[in-house]
Amino acid sequence: MIFISMILSVLLFFLGLSYFYYPSFIIKMNKWFRDKFFNDKLVLMDRKKMGIICIVISLVIFYFGVFIPKLSLSFKQQDIRNDLYHAWCYYYQKNYDKAEKICREILFFEPENSTVKEQLALIYFSRGDYRKSIYYCKRVLEENPNNRRIEKILNSINEKISKK
């Protein structure tokens, strides 16, 4: 969709410039589109107005094609941060099921989010599911080998497993 809007905005931009600098090209194009879009009188008399309209429309389409997707992405990132905050709150309230559910939803949309993986490792560690906790600890350490919190969790798991 962005690609199409970019192409359309560029075409309209050049069409607007053509109205200003190459009216003969517009007249040739007009002969081809005469029945549907143009008539010679309007092209010659209103070429500057049509040029400005085309340029403005192309800039609006370009703006919406480039900047609006970035805005929606930032809103999505804000939603993910809010969800992660809720997951932390549920974790500290010892409501591990809700915290896990939220973390899994975030991980579905952002599979490389190491904060969520760290949170899942903590949730599984707190539940006593050391196998899953080790899995997420290793995934976090692959991305960030110097994560001391995860190293502490792994050491605690190894101590608990060795005591059994």
Q: For the whole prediction, is pTM greater than 0.85?
A: no
Per DSSP, helices labelled H in 46-95 are: 47-92
28-34: which pairs have CB atoms within 8 A and are 24 or more residues apart? none
Per-residue pLDDT of the chain (164 residues; tens, 9 = 90+): 577 778 888 888 888 888 888 888 878 877 777 755 556 666 667 778 878 888 898 888 887 776 666 555 555 666 788 888 899 999 999 999 999 999 998 888 888 888 899 999 999 999 989 899 889 988 988 888 888 888 888 888 888 888 76
106 touches 88 (CB < 8 A): no
* Domains present along the chain, CATH in parentheses: 1-74 (no CATH), 94-164 (1.25.40.10)
Run of H or E residues at 105: helix 96-109
What CA–CA distance (Å, rounded) separates 15 from 106? 45
Beta strands in the chain (DSSP E): none
What CA–CA distance (Å, rounded) separates 91 from 86? 8
